[in-house]
Structure 1
Amino acid sequence: MKISVSNYSYSQWRHRDGKTIFDCMDHAKRFADGFEFANLDCPDGREPLDYAKELRAYADKIGLPIVCYSICANMLAEDLDAEVARVCREVDIAEALGCPVMRHDVADGFPKWYTGIKTFGSVLPRLAEGCRRITEYAAQKGIRTCSENHGTFFQRPERMIALIEAVDNSNYGLLCDMGNFLCGDAESIVSVGEVAAASIHVHAKDFLLKKGECVHPGDGWFCTRGGDYLRGTVIGHGVVPVAQDVRILKNSGYNGYITCEFEGMERCPE
């Protein structure tokens, strides 16, 4: 396995100190084997494809592979055809970045337009259709697609397994985020064990945890699906058993990148 880092981890540094994405890539090169983009954050007036090519050229120059491109998506958008077409354009950006893997979201809940039965199983065929169409397009470009336990609607391992079985395409896999299972009130080590064999990319992050019966702890904390409180922190400082999760992944045969994500309040990147 190799270590990568997400541009998302540098958000605080960029906003606080005015650092550029190229500064972030230079810093990552000091310790990481790869770099991941969570959305492109394209400057005003720039064409995303041209900007992606510039980022790839810089990454090639400093010897830092871009290993994954992660974007927002919603397979429960009212116009599924339009959303699939939009995400396929993002696949083109992943190709320009030179990424072997692209992660897209699945959905963040039932939209207002939806009037059917509000269970995961009732919308699973539609979710699978969108993901399948996207991965069929990506396969033509040599890019594998995956979806992450991201957003409380899709943060339980049984839902992840159900979706990959429904998509039924070898080009499509799962992105296992060790920390995000807590957002859906699922235990990390059990969940990682369930999805490890189907995972083609991994995120490592850590959270502080307070039980939901206490008052809201304040800035930086957010609620899980069940009402507990989480706050991002430095890997190793929280309750996510990152080292144990890594062993589970290794024992399952995973041999890809593990991207470090930092979303805490501690000063970054020190």
Structure 2
Amino acid sequence: MKLGFSSYTFHQRVATGEMSLTDVIDWVADSEGEHLELAAIYRGADAPIPNEESDPSFVETVRSHAEKRGVPLSNLAVGADLSHEDAAEKTAEIERVKKLVDLAEALGIRTMRHDVVPHGVVPGDDSVVFEQKFPIIVDACRQIAEYAATKGITTSLENHGFFVQSSDRVRRIVHAVDRDNFKTTLDIGNFVCVDEDPTSAVPANLPYAMIVHLKDFYIRPAGFSAPDGWFSSRGGKALRGAIVGEGDIDLPGVIAAIKQSGYDEYVSIEFEGHEDCFVGATRGLANARRLLAA
């Protein structure tokens, strides 16, 4: 496995302008990280991470700087809403995501994660809503995957955003899209947001993994009087980002499952905690290496 980082790990400093993406690449190059995944969570032509509106010269600067520093760009992760029922809106979003496939190609990246729904909880039992949206999402994912295949790029959805965050919903979409170059970005921590145990959810989805995110959370029971900085799981548990290996997820059990599966591709540290991001990145990587060596 090749251990590295998601650029989201450095969001604390990138969002404020304290670090540029080339600074992040330099930090990773000088660390023990082996790759960098780009999380294109910022919008607009002046965004610090390349997106579909970025100037081609900026895209080339990022690509060439990563190559010069010996930091493989492992994956491009982008937001998307592929659940539009309006035909024109759906087509427009599919075309926008195809431009992001072009961006991945320009960056020299061979894999891309796109969301399928916006981040947010659908109130109540969302099973009926999911069934309504399911064929729309599947069709859009298939169109994008087929376009990406012409460029030798693999696309994926992540267990992300509450509505499509449980392991069974992810698998249903992957199977229904039914394209060899459509898989899942497997975030081992995100399952707890929908109250699913990662020790069972991760093994179930590992056969479909394109890339793995290592993440950790502090988890407290429903009713916990959480201070600022915590958020709620679907079932009301209190969650807060933690340094990988220092939270409440059974990381030894999850990593043992990853090793046993034979997965040997990119693994990204994705730190979302309150500690300084350099501390979170450094300690998280060290903890992950220790667990992988156990």
Partner of 1:229: 238
Letter of the 2:56 partner, please give it: L
Alignment of 1:127-146 (within 5 A): 127-146=137-156
Partner of 2:57: 50
CA distances 1:230-249 after superposition (whole Å, capped 9, x unpaired): 11011111012223222212
SS where residue 278 of structure 2 aligns? Answer: coil
SS where residue 153 of structure 1 aligns? Answer: coil
- The alignment covers a number of residue pairs equal to 266
Please state if 1:262 is matched with 2:271.
yes
Unaligned regions of 5+ residues in structure 1, if any? none
Runs of 4+ aligned structure 1 residues displaced above 6 Å come to: 109-112
Partner of 1:118: 128
The alpha-carbon distance between structure 1 residues 153 and 48, as it changes in their structure 2 partners (threshold 3 A), is farther
The alpha-carbon distance between structure 1 residues 17 and 133, as it changes in their structure 2 partners (threshold 3 A), is closer
The alpha-carbon distance between structure 1 residues 220 and 110, as it changes in their structure 2 partners (threshold 3 A), is closer
The alpha-carbon distance between structure 1 residues 34 and 110, as it changes in their structure 2 partners (threshold 3 A), is closer
SS where residue 91 of structure 1 aligns? Answer: helix
Please state if 1:67 is matched with 2:74.
yes
TM-score, scaled relative to structure 1? 0.92
1:211 to 205, 221, 236: 221
CA distances 1:27-60 after superposition (whole Å, capped 9, x unpaired): 1112111001000746629834332221010000
SS where residue 163 of structure 2 aligns? Answer: helix
Once the two structures are TM-superposed, the CA of residue 109 in structure 1 deviates from its matched residue by 7.4
1:183 to 171, 185, 193: 193
Please state if 1:169 is matched with 2:182.
no
Unaligned regions of 5+ residues in structure 2, if any? 48-52, 280-294
Once the two structures are TM-superposed, the CA of residue 25 in structure 1 deviates from its matched residue by 1.1
Please state if 1:152 is matched with 2:162.
yes
Partner of 1:39: 40
Partner of 2:289: none
Whether contact under 8 Å (1:197, 1:253) holds in the other structure is no
Please state if 1:14 is matched with 2:14.
yes
Q: CA-atom RMSD, angstroms?
A: 2.2
Whether contact under 8 Å (1:13, 1:269) holds in the other structure is no
CA distances 1:110-143 after superposition (whole Å, capped 9, x unpaired): 999xxxx833223211111000000111111111
TM-score, scaled relative to structure 2? 0.85
Q: 2:41 & 2:107 partners in 1: Cα distance?
A: 10
Q: 2:55 & 2:190 partners in 1: Cα distance?
A: 29
The alpha-carbon distance between structure 1 residues 269 and 57, as it changes in their structure 2 partners (threshold 3 A), is same
CA distances 1:193-225 after superposition (whole Å, capped 9, x unpaired): 11011111110010011111223x122111111
Letter of the 2:268 partner, please give it: T
Q: 2:61 & 2:71 partners in 1: Cα distance?
A: 14
Whether contact under 8 Å (1:73, 1:105) holds in the other structure is yes
The alpha-carbon distance between structure 1 residues 199 and 12, as it changes in their structure 2 partners (threshold 3 A), is same
Letter of the 1:47 partner, please give it: S
Q: 1:40 & 1:191 partners in 2: Cα distance?
A: 26
Letter of the 2:46 partner, please give it: D
